[in-house]
Amino acid sequence: TRPDIAFSVNLLARYSSTPTRRHWNGIKHIMRYLRGSTDMGLFYPRGTKSTLIGYADAGYLSDPHKARSQTGYIFTFCDTAISWRSTKQTMTATSSNHSAIHEASRECIWLRSMIQHIQESCGLSSIKNNPTVIYEDNTACITQLRGGYIKGDRTKHISPKFFYTHELQKRVILMYNKSDPVTI
């Protein structure tokens, strides 16, 4: 329940089978941070607009030894984080942002379904017809997804994920975002 440590925990968890002194120091650093921030938490205020907003990003080749990129996304509802993930991508890819937006889009569909079910069960207005905005920091990725095309032979490997995300883009708005909050 702490999105602020998601990246650090994911990074240190990679070395849980063979930790070194450096990794142990990293764990102790996280523990000191948690002890010093016990008053921090997620706050869900009343009266905020009930919109689902996502932020997705990928850090290209964040693990240069294994040629893997880092994927991260955060979704907020009523201006508070409800879902987040920061993880190393499972495959080597030259299109890390396409993979990140694909993972975020899959999470978005699940969250929309869950929120819609809860809202309808409580007799509230549903988010069914409202699009979800997902912010992404790669303008080329957004342009390709909006246009429904991929140029060049070097990007054919991303076609299945790309076209799935392109179809979802009809219900999700993709926008440019400058920051790298979950893939540092």
Give 30-47 pLDDT, tens digit per residue: 999 999 998 888 887 877
**CATH architecture classification, 43-176:** 2-Layer Sandwich (3.30)
The alpha carbon torsion through 168, 173, 176, 182 (nearest 10 deg) reads -60
Buried/exposed code over 71-90 (b: 16+ C-beta within 10 A; e: otherwise): bbbbbbbbeebbbbbbbbbe
As beta bridge partners, residue 59 has: 70
- CA 95, 97, 101, 104 torsion: positive or negative? positive
88-111 confidence digits (pLDDT tens): 766 655 566 667 777 888 898 889
Q: What is the pLDDT of residues 131-170, one digit of tens each?
A: 788 887 766 566 655 565 555 555 555 555 555 665 666 6
Q: Quick check: 180 pLDDT over 90?
A: no
For residue 4, what are its two tokens?
Answer: 């602020």
Using CA atoms, how far residue 178 sits from 105, 122, 132, 134, 175, in Å, is: 19, 37, 19, 13, 10
Q: Average model confidence (pLDDT) for the chain?
A: 75
Give pLDDT tens digits for 117-138: 888 888 877 666 677 888 877 6
Beta strands in 78-154 (DSSP E): 80-88, 132-136
Please state the pTM of the whole predicted model.
0.70
For residue 117, give every residue at least 6 positions away whose Cβ sits within 8 Å of its Cβ, in sequence order, or none: none
132 token code pair: 């979800």
